[in-house]
Structure 1
Amino acid sequence: MKWVGLIFILFLQNHLVLGAKHYLFKTCEQSGFCKRNIHYAHNIEENYYTIDSFNIDETKAYISGNLIKSIPQGEISLNWQLGIVNGGFRFTVDEERHVKGIVNSKRFSPANEFNIEYVSRDQVSIEKSDILHISYNSTVIKVYPKFKIEVYDDKKLTMQINDDNLLNFEHYRLNNEGQMNTPESDFNMFQDDFKDSRDDKLPLGPESIALDFKFKGYQHLYGLPEHSDSLELGDKLYRLFNVDIFEYEINSTLPMYGSIPFLLAMNEQSSMGLFWINAADTYVDVKHSNQDTSTHWISENGVMDFIVFTKDSNRDIQKKYGDITGFTVLPPLFSLGYHQCRWNYNDEADVLDITEKFDEYEIPYDTIWLDIEYTDNKKYFTWNENFPNPTRMLQALDHTGRNLVVIIDPHIKKDYDVSNYLVENKLTIMNSQNSTYYGHCWPGESVWVDSLNPKVQQYWDSLHTSSGFMGNSSNVHIWNDMNEISVFDGPETSSPKDNLHYGGWEDRSVHNINGMKFHEITYDSLIKRQQETTRQRPFILTRSYFSGSQKTAAMWTGDNMSKWEYLKISIPMVLNNGLAGMPFAGADVGGFFGDPSKELLTRWYQTGIFYPFFRAHAHIDSRRREPWIPGDPFTSYIRDAIKLRYALLPVFYTSFYESSINGAPVLKPIFYDTGKHFDIEDEFYIGNSGILVKPVTEPDVKEQKIILPESGKYYNFVNGIPSTVTYKGDETISIPVTLNDIPMFVKGGHIIFTQPRYRRSSKLMVNDPYTITVFLDENNKADGDLYADDGESFNYQNGQFLKVHVEANESRINFVVENSWNAKYINKVIVVGKDIKTFNVKISLNGNYTFKFENQHIHELIHDEL
C-alpha cells in the first residue's frame, strides 16, 4: 500500500508539473466578475452613483452617509464612510444583506487584521456645500454629489477617484429583472462556466466591486506582488489570487502564491500609496497616459475598503502603511545566515553528514531543512523511521549553533489522530454543505486546517509544545508551505470558492488571507512554546502571504527553475516585495526545478547572498548540489560568497532593525532614495549602508555595466574588499569581471561594520570583534550605524541592545552610543580615501584614545572595547 500511495503522489506531481499551464488558471475573460467589470468599463457613459446624505462625527475625523445607486427599478441605498488616518484617508462602501443560510451574508473586509485609527476631529476642517471639502495638513479632499473624489496636495491635483465612472457595486439580488443598468453584463452572475469550477454554487449571486484611481503626475508604479514580472508595473492586467503555480513563467502577470494589494506610485519629487483592503480574487488594470497613471481595481466580492496615502516621501508612505499593517518582525540572527535545503534529506545520518561537510570545507551555514519526506507517511507532527531520535539530531546540530526547519502544511492526511481530532471538533475547512471538505494533496486524501477558527489555536499549540513532536529542543523552526491553499484536484489548484470557513465565510471572500492566518497560528504556537525554552524568537517561512504577513514570517518566491532568466527575475521579485512591506524575502538559490550548470550555480550564490532570506533549495528529482558538489574552482567561489554574507551580517541585521521600526526595504532599488533611474531593477542598495550591488545574472559575462546613481564618489568594493579605487557618481561605468567577482561599490560618506572571521555559524560569531570600514566622501566625512542584540531572544524589547551612530572626518572617528548593552570589540578600523595621509585619529568613546596609523589608506585598531 505504501508503494501504491507513492506511485499515486508521483503521478500527481508529474501531472501537475507537466500540465500546470495557462489552461488551469482563469483569465479575466473566464472570470465572471472580471469580465463583467471590463465590459462595464468599455460601455459606461454616465455615473449611476450619488451622495445622498452624510453625518460628521463630533470626536473623530469621520464622515458617513448614504450612496444611492440608480437602477431601472429604482434606487439601491449603500453605506459610505470616509475617515482621515495618519497620512491619508480611508473610504468604504458597504450594503446591508440579510440572507438566511449557512453562508455569512455580510460582505467581508480584512480590516480587523490591521490597526486603523482616525485622527481627532479638531485636526481636520470639513466644509459642507454641494461639494464636500475636507482639509488636513496640506491635503484637500473634494467629494462630489455625483460620486467622484479629487485629492489635492499643496493645491495640486494628485488623484482622481471614479473620474472614469468605473465605480460598480454589484448589489444583492435574486435575479437580474430590472436590476441592471445598460452598460452591465450578466455573464456568469449566478453560475461559473469555467471547466474546473462549474460546481461553484455562487449562493449570493453577483457581488463584485470595482473602482478607478488616477494618479496625477505619477508615471512609476510598484507593488502588487506576487508576480514574476518586472519591478515597475506596466500597462498590464495583474491578478491577485493566491494559488500553487508549478513551474511559473517569467514576465507573467499570472497569479502566484502571495497577494499584497498595496501600490506605491512615484515621481521625481514624491510618492503616493494605495491600499485596497480586500482578500478576494482581484484584478488590477494599469494604464499609463502622458504624465498620469490610471488603475482599475476589480474584486470578486467584499466591502469596498481602501486607504489612500497622500503625497509624501516613499519612506513616509511605507512608514504609515506599516503603522497600519505592521512592520517586519526583527528576525533571529541565525535566520539571516545561510540555509541548506532540498526535497529531501534522507535520514539523520544524511543531515549530520551534510553538517560535517560544511565544516570540512570551512563553509559557514546556520540551518538545514527537512521537506515532507521526514514524516511518517506524510502525516505532519510525526517522524518516520529514518529519524529515530530527533532530539539527538537536534542536539548534535545545536553543538555548533545550527538549526533545523521542518515543514508543516495545512493539508492533514485523512484518518490519523491529528486529522481525526480536527474533523471531530469541526476545525476544518468545510464544503458548501458545511461538512468537512476533503481533497487531494501530497498525503493523498486530506482535510485542511481552518486557521480562521479561533478554536484551532489551542489545539495547534498542543501540537507544537515540548510534549509534542518538537520535544524540548529550541533550535527547531517551521516552514509553512502549500498554504494558498493548494489542492491538487481543486479548481485552479486551490480550494473551491464556495468552501466555508469559520463564521460562514466563503473561501471566495477570505481566500487571500488564508495563508497568512495559517502562519500566524503557527507563530502564536511557537511564541507559547518559547515561553518554555525562552531561548529563541520563532522563525517561520511561508509561501502564501498577504498584507500583514511581514509581522510573523519570511517568504520565498516558490518553485522557480534552474535557468538564467529565473536568476535574473528573482531580483525585481525580491525588491518588489520589499516595496510592498514584505522585505524578508528570497528565492531558491540554484532554482527548485532542474539542474543548474556550475556557472549558473556559482552566480546564483553570488546573487543569493544579498537576498534578505538566503536559502538553497532543490526538487527531489534534482541532483545533489551542495556547495562542495561542483568542485573547485566553483566550490571556492561559492565558499567566498557565503563567507561574505556572514561578514556582512551586521549590515543586514542593522537593516532589518531599521525595517522593523519604519518599514523601509532591506534591499532598496536605486531609485528609492535618488528619485531617478526608475527603470533599473537589477541593482540595489543594502539598507542605508551605502553598499551598491549589481550581481551578474547572465552567462559568460566578462564586463559588467553599472549605473552609479548619485553624485559624489563611489569606492570599488568588489567581493567586499575595500579599495582606494573610486569612480565618479551619477554616471555609468564598466568594470571587468571574472567568475569569482561580485560587482560591489560603496557610496562615499558611509561607514560599515563587518565581522569577517570565519565561524561555522552565526551563533558562534556573537562575541567576534567588528571591523569598521570608513569610506570618506569628497569632503572627507562619513557616518554609519550599528544595531546589535543577543540575536535570539526578545530581551531587546526590554532595552537589551546596542545602538551606535558613528561619524568620521579626516582626523577623528566619533562613536555616539544611543543605547548601551554588552561590550563589543573592534579589532580593525579601515579608513579609505585618496586624500588621506599618515595622521593621528582620535576615537572618542567614553574618553579619548589616540592611535598611530602608518599605512596611507588602510589603518588598523586592535581590540578596543565598544
Structure 2
Amino acid sequence: MRTVYLYHLLYLLLLVAHLCSVSSWKREEFRNCNQTPFCKRARSRKPGSCSLIAADVAIADGDLIAKLIPKNPPLEEQEPIKPLILSLSVYQDGILRLKIDEDPSLDPPKKRFEVADVIVPEFLDKKLWLQRFSKETIDGDSEDSSVVYLSDGFEVVLRHDPFEVYVREKGGKRVVSLNSHGLFDFEQLRVKKEGEDWEERFKGNTDTRPYGPQSISFDVSFYGADFVYGIPEHATSLALKATRGPGVEESEPYRLFNLDVFEYIHDSPFGIYGSIPFMIAHGKARGTSGFFWLNAAEMQIDVLGSGWNAESSISLPSDQNRIDTLWMSEAGVVDAFFFVGPGPKDVVRQYISVTGAPALPQLFSTAYHQCRWNYRDEVDVEMLFPNPEEMQKKLAAKGRHMVTIVDPHMKRDESNHLHKEASNKGYYVKDATGKDFDGWCWPGSSSYPDMLNPEIKSWWAEKFSYENYIGSTPSLYIWNDMNEPSVFNGPELTMPRDALHYGSVEHRELHNAYGYYFHMATADGLVKRGDGKDRPFVLSRAFFSGSQRYGAVWTGDNTADWDHLRVSVPMILTLGLTGMTFSGADVGGYFGNPEPELLVRWYQVGAYYPFFRGHAHQDTKRREPWLFGERNTDLMREAIHVRYTLLPYFYTLFREANMSGIPVVRPLWMEFPADEATFSNDEAFMVGKSLLVQGVYTERAKKVSVYLPGRQSWYDLRTGTIYKGGVTHKLEVSEESIPAFQRAGTIIPRKYRFRRSSTQMVNDPYTLVIALNNSQAAEGELYIDDGKSFEFEQGAYIHRRFVFSVGKLTSLNIAPSAPGNSQFSSNCVVERIILLGHSPGPKNALIEPANRKAEIELGPLHLRGGNSPDVVTIRRPNVGIADDWTIKIL
C-alpha cells in the first residue's frame, strides 16, 4: 500500500509547524571523546588499574551476591571508596544478568537511575533461583573463585581477586568476560565540598553536575570471535572496526548518544538518532555470543585491536581470536546481560526474551510509502487540505493510509491549549532550577513532556482519541520525529544533561531512552483510540532497546549519494540484529538531488528494506518516481512491483520476527554461520532464509561480484538461471534490476496481480515458487491474518508449511488450534505453482483429496524479464490456501 505522508499535521490537534530551514552537520557542534571528561578519563586508564576484589560472597533471594571492596585501603588523602553491591542472576535459556550499584545502606546522595519499562515482565518470571555455588581455585590466584550453574554446558565464574565475571563452557573455554583486563571503574555519587568545581562547559553551555562525576567503565571480552557487530546507530560497516590498539589508527569510540544530526557523514563511529547498547560477537570456531548493557546515559565503546593490552600484568588464558572492548557510560548502574548463543539466531532470541519481541506491523505498512517534506507554512497547508477528514476518507476508499508527524516539543503559547494544560499540570521536563525547561525547536520557544512519568504517558496517549485529535480518522497513523529530543539551542542540539525528570532523575541518566518513552506513549495512544482492536503504526526517529515493541524506525537524514546508498545496508542489518527489524532508509536520500541512475538503484535496493519509503527534504527537487521520464519511471515501478510480489513472503517474515526476534533482513552469516567469507560481507544481505540480494553501489556499473554461500545452488530471481553456491560470481548487470537469488531448497509465496494498494491485493490468488535443491526437495511457509487487528494473538491466523519431496507438494497446517471463536479464514487459492530446477518429463499433476488433475506447462517461463530453462508450471490448481492438500507430479 502506498502510504501518503504530509510533513505537517494539517489542522489536526497536535499541529507542529516546521517554519525554519536547517543546515548540514557541523562537526564542531558535537563533542568528541577528549571533550567528554568521562570518556577521556576512562580511555586513560591502564589495564590492571582496578583494585576491587569480591568479598562476602553468598546466596540471597536466589542470586549470588558479593561486595566489591578495594584490595588495599586508600591513602589518608584519598576519598574513601564505599563498597559496591554485585549480584549475579541466572535465567532460562542461558542468560546471565550482572548488576553492580552503590550500597543503599550507606546512604548515597540519591538513588542511581535504573532504566524502566525495557525488560519485559515475562522475562523476570524465567529466573532460576540459585541454591548453592561451588569454589574453585584459578591458576595463580590467592583466593578461590565462586562458580554457579548457568545452563547445560555453561557456568558462571565470579573471580574474587582480581574481581572478574565470566561465562565459560563446562570444559573450561571462556565465552564472554567482564573486567578481565582490570579496567572496571565506578565513580560514586558525592556531596559537593566547599571549593569543588564540578561544572562542565561546552559551546557556551554549562552542566552543573550536582552529584559530581558518576561514570562507569569496564572491559568486555568475547572469546572465539572473529568480528563484533551491533551497537547502532552509526553510519559505518556491519563488522565493527577497531578504534584503538597497535597497528590501528586511533579513532573516536563508537558513540551512543541520541542526536539530531543533519546530513550525517558515512563511515563514522559518531552516534546519531538512536542507541542500542547490545553487541554480538561471531566466529567460526566458537559461534556467537552477546552482551547488553541496559543503560540510557551517553555511552562510548572502544573496539580494541589485537595486542592493545600488552602492559597488563594479569594472567589471562590465551585465545587467538579474542576481541576486547571497552564500555564507558556517563551515569546509571551496571545492569548487564550475557548471552551464550551458541548460534546467531540463538543470541538474537535470547536478547529479545529480555527486551521484547518486535511488533507485528499492519500489512499496509509493509508496502511502499511515498513521502516528502514540502509544505512550507500553514497557509499552504490550508489551501491544499481544507478538509482533512474528507481527504483521509477518500484515500481510505482506495485502500490507502496517511501518516502525520507528531513531535515532542510543544509551543509555549497560552493560546495553545495543549501547552496550557501541560504547563498547569506540571507535565514538562524541568531545568536545573526546577522551572519548566524552555528550549528552541520548530515552533520557537518550546517545552517537552516528561515521558518518564507514567501519568504523563497516559495523558499523552489520550490525546490520540478521535475526540481529542480533531480531524483524525482510523486510516491516520503517526510519525514521531525530533524525539532524541532535538533542541536547536541546547548543548549538542539536545536537552541539557542537568535537566530534571520525574523522580529527580537527571536527563543525563535517561537521555537515550527519552524518544523510546515518547514512541511507547504514542503507540499506546493509537491502540487506545481503537479500543485495543487495531495494531498501531508509529514511525520513530529516536530509539532504544525495546523500541521494536512499538513500531518502525528509519536511518534519518541521509544524503543522495552512492556512499549513503551503500552504507544503508549495514545500518539496516545492524538494526535488525539488535531487535529493530522494521527499519529502512530514505530511498533516494533525504538531502540532495539524486541523479536518475542513483535513484533507480536505490529503489531496487530499497524494495528489499523491511521499511520501504521514498522521502526527501523540502529544498530538494521533486522526485516522485513518475517525474524522471518514461524509462526511469518503468524501472522504479518495476522495483516497487518486486516488493508487492513478495508481500506475502515479507509478512510471513515479520511474523517470524514477532515470534523469535530473527530479523526480516539479515546478514549472510546469520544463515551461513560457518562460512568465513560471509562474516564481513555487508554489500549483500539475506531476506529471510530464502532470498539473497546484492546491491549495485557504483555509478554506471557493468559488472558486480556476488558471493553465493552454501553448497546448494541459487536461482536468479528474474530469469531462473542456476548459479553454484560457495563461489564468487562476476555477473553482468543491467539497469533493469540488481542481482537477487532464491536459495535452492526453498518455497516462496508470491502474488503477481498488481493493484493500486496492498489492501486491494488481500483476496488475490497466490503463486508458489519452488526452488529445488540437489535432492529435488524444498520447503517454505506462509502466514496470513487479517492484516490489522490483534486477533492473531488469540490464534486467528493461517500458518501453512509447504513441503516438496519425492515429486509431491504437500500443504500442512502448522497453526495451533484456535480457542473459542478466534478463527481466521481465507478464500484465496493457489493459482500457479512454479518449479525451478525440476527434472524434465512430467506431463500432469494429480491433486488430492480432490482427485483431479491440473494442467502442466513445461519451460521456458517468462519471470518478469527473463527466460528460464528447466521450469515446470502447474497452472490453475486452484487449491485453497488454508486447506490441506497434496499435488503429485506424474
TM-score by length of 1: 0.89
Task: Report the Cα distance in structure 1 between the residues aligned to 2:672 and 2:400, rounded to whole angstroms.
Answer: 39
User: Cα distance, 1:743 vs. partner?
Assistant: 1.0
* Residues 51-80 of structure 1: CA deviation (Å, up to 9, x unaligned): 12133136x3x1223211453344411111
User: Cα distance, 1:111 vs. partner?
Assistant: 5.1
Equivalent residue runs for 1:166-565 within 5 Å: 166-174=183-191, 190-197=198-205, 199-236=206-243, 237-268=253-284, 269-289=286-306, 290-344=320-374, 346=375, 384=382, 386-415=384-413, 416-471=416-471, 473-531=473-531, 534=533, 536-565=534-563
User: Cα distance, 1:97 vs. partner?
Assistant: 6.4
1:687 aligned residue: 688
Q: What secondary structure sits across from 2:515 in the alignment?
A: helix
Letter in 2 for 1:814: T
Letter in 2 for 1:134: V
User: Cα distance, 1:591 vs. partner?
Assistant: 0.5
1:182 aligned residue: none
User: Cα distance, 1:470 vs. partner?
Assistant: 4.8
Q: What secondary structure sits across from 1:83 in the alignment?
A: strand
Task: Report the Cα distance in structure 2 between the residues aligned to 1:808 and 1:329, rounded to whole angstroms.
Answer: 31
Query: Is the Cα contact below 8 Å between 2:19 and 2:443 reproduced in 1?
Result: no
Query: Is the Cα contact below 8 Å between 2:178 and 2:221 reproduced in 1?
Result: yes
Q: Does 1:32 align with 2:37?
A: yes
CA spacing shift, 1:650–1:119, aligned 2, 3 Å? closer
CA spacing shift, 1:33–1:120, aligned 2, 3 Å? closer
User: Cα distance, 1:145 vs. partner?
Assistant: 1.6
Letter in 2 for 1:71: P
1:831 aligned residue: 835
Equivalent residue runs for 1:718-729 within 5 Å: 721-723=718-720, 725-729=721-725
Between Structure 1 and Structure 2, the one with more helix by share is 1
Q: What secondary structure sits across from 1:531 in the alignment?
A: coil
Letter in 2 for 1:855: L
Q: Does 1:644 align with 2:642?
A: yes
Q: Choose the corresponding residue for 1:80, options 73, 86, 103.
A: 86
Say which is worse superposed, 732-741 or 546-555, in terms of deviation: 732-741
2:727 aligned residue: 731
1:855 aligned residue: 858
Task: Report the Cα distance in structure 1 between the residues aligned to 2:379 and 2:357, rounded to whole angstroms.
Answer: 37
Task: Report the Cα distance in structure 1 between the residues aligned to 2:357 and 2:254, rounded to whole angstroms.
Answer: 25
Query: Is the Cα contact below 8 Å between 2:91 and 2:127 reproduced in 1?
Result: no
Q: What secondary structure sits across from 1:131 in the alignment?
A: strand
Letter in 2 for 1:256: I
CA spacing shift, 1:589–1:579, aligned 2, 3 Å? same
Stretches of structure 2 that go unaligned for 5 or more consecutive residues are: 1-16, 137-143, 244-252, 307-319, 816-823, 860-870, 882-890
Task: Report the Cα distance in structure 1 between the residues aligned to 2:846 and 2:805, rounded to whole angstroms.
Answer: 10
Query: Is the Cα contact below 8 Å between 1:161 and 1:212 reproduced in 2?
Result: yes
* Residues 559-602 of structure 1: CA deviation (Å, up to 9, x unaligned): 00111111111011001100111111000011111111011111
Task: Report the Cα distance in structure 2 between the residues aligned to 1:404 and 1:72, rounded to whole angstroms.
Answer: 66
CA spacing shift, 1:32–1:608, aligned 2, 3 Å? same
Q: Choose the corresponding residue for 2:165, options 149, 164, 167.
A: 149
* Residues 772-829 of structure 1: CA deviation (Å, up to 9, x unaligned): 1111101100000000111111111121111000001352100002237323211111
Letter in 2 for 1:596: P
1:65 aligned residue: 66
Letter in 1 for 2:826: N
CA spacing shift, 1:273–1:843, aligned 2, 3 Å? farther
User: Cα distance, 1:114 vs. partner?
Assistant: 0.5
Letter in 1 for 2:733: V
CA spacing shift, 1:228–1:124, aligned 2, 3 Å? farther
Query: Is the Cα contact below 8 Å between 1:375 and 1:384 reproduced in 2?
Result: yes
User: Cα distance, 1:524 vs. partner?
Assistant: 0.7
Query: Is the Cα contact below 8 Å between 2:214 and 2:330 reproduced in 1?
Result: yes
Task: Report the Cα distance in structure 2 between the residues aligned to 1:421 and 1:610, rounded to whole angstroms.
Answer: 44
Query: Is the Cα contact below 8 Å between 2:462 and 2:528 reproduced in 1?
Result: no
Q: What secondary structure sits across from 2:768 in the alignment?
A: strand
User: Cα distance, 1:834 vs. partner?
Assistant: 4.9
User: Cα distance, 1:473 vs. partner?
Assistant: 1.6
TM-score by length of 2: 0.86
CA spacing shift, 1:55–1:813, aligned 2, 3 Å? same
CA spacing shift, 1:435–1:848, aligned 2, 3 Å? farther
Q: What secondary structure sits across from 2:570 in the alignment?
A: helix
1:349 aligned residue: none
Q: Does 1:54 align with 2:57?
A: yes
Task: Report the Cα distance in structure 2 between the residues aligned to 1:126 and 1:118, rounded to whole angstroms.
Answer: 22
CA spacing shift, 1:392–1:656, aligned 2, 3 Å? same
1:793 aligned residue: 789
Q: Choose the corresponding residue for 1:105, options 104, 110, 132.
A: 110
Q: What secondary structure sits across from 2:531 in the alignment?
A: helix
Query: Is the Cα contact below 8 Å between 1:812 and 1:841 reproduced in 2?
Result: no
Aligned residues: 799
Say which is worse superposed, 146-155 or 776-785, in terms of deviation: 146-155
1:667 aligned residue: 665
CA spacing shift, 1:712–1:298, aligned 2, 3 Å? same
Letter in 1 for 2:402: L
* Residues 410-466 of structure 1: CA deviation (Å, up to 9, x unaligned): 011111111111111111111011110111111111111111122223432332111
Q: What secondary structure sits across from 1:732 in the alignment?
A: strand
Q: Does 1:127 align with 2:141?
A: no
Task: Report the Cα distance in structure 2 between the residues aligned to 1:121 and 1:737, rounded to whole angstroms.
Answer: 55
* Residues 625-664 of structure 1: CA deviation (Å, up to 9, x unaligned): 1110001210000011111111100110000000001010
Aligned residues: CA RMSD:
2.3
Q: What secondary structure sits across from 1:391 in the alignment?
A: helix
Task: Report the Cα distance in structure 1 between the residues aligned to 2:128 and 2:728, rounded to whole angstroms.
Answer: 51
Task: Report the Cα distance in structure 2 between the residues aligned to 1:515 and 1:597, rounded to whole angstroms.
Answer: 34
Task: Report the Cα distance in structure 1 between the residues aligned to 2:621 and 2:633, rounded to whole angstroms.
Answer: 16
Task: Report the Cα distance in structure 2 between the residues aligned to 1:506 and 1:843, rounded to whole angstroms.
Answer: 67
CA spacing shift, 1:121–1:581, aligned 2, 3 Å? closer
Task: Report the Cα distance in structure 2 between the residues aligned to 1:461 and 1:46, rounded to whole angstroms.
Answer: 49
User: Cα distance, 1:10 vs. partner?
Assistant: 9.2
CA spacing shift, 1:858–1:176, aligned 2, 3 Å? farther
Query: Is the Cα contact below 8 Å between 2:18 and 2:377 reproduced in 1?
Result: no
CA spacing shift, 1:652–1:386, aligned 2, 3 Å? same
Task: Report the Cα distance in structure 1 between the residues aligned to 2:383 and 2:129, rounded to whole angstroms.
Answer: 67
Q: What secondary structure sits across from 1:110 in the alignment?
A: coil
User: Cα distance, 1:523 vs. partner?
Assistant: 0.6
Letter in 2 for 1:343: W
CA spacing shift, 1:451–1:848, aligned 2, 3 Å? farther
Query: Is the Cα contact below 8 Å between 1:84 and 1:118 reproduced in 2?
Result: no
Say which is worse superposed, 437-446 or 814-823, in terms of deviation: 814-823
Query: Is the Cα contact below 8 Å between 1:66 and 1:77 reproduced in 2?
Result: yes
Task: Report the Cα distance in structure 2 between the residues aligned to 1:708 and 1:141, rounded to whole angstroms.
Answer: 39
User: Cα distance, 1:139 vs. partner?
Assistant: 1.0
Question: What fraction of aligned residue pairs are identical, expressed as a percent?
Answer: 36
Task: Report the Cα distance in structure 1 between the residues aligned to 2:127 and 2:359, rounded to whole angstroms.
Answer: 29
Letter in 1 for 2:95: G
Q: What secondary structure sits across from 2:626 in the alignment?
A: coil
CA spacing shift, 1:292–1:93, aligned 2, 3 Å? same
Query: Is the Cα contact below 8 Å between 1:813 and 1:841 reproduced in 2?
Result: no
CA spacing shift, 1:637–1:418, aligned 2, 3 Å? same
CA spacing shift, 1:613–1:374, aligned 2, 3 Å? farther
* Residues 167-210 of structure 1: CA deviation (Å, up to 9, x unaligned): 10111234699xxxxxxxx9x9812132243x211000011011
Stretches of structure 1 that go unaligned for 5 or more consecutive residues are: 1-8, 178-185, 347-372, 378-382
Letter in 2 for 1:23: E
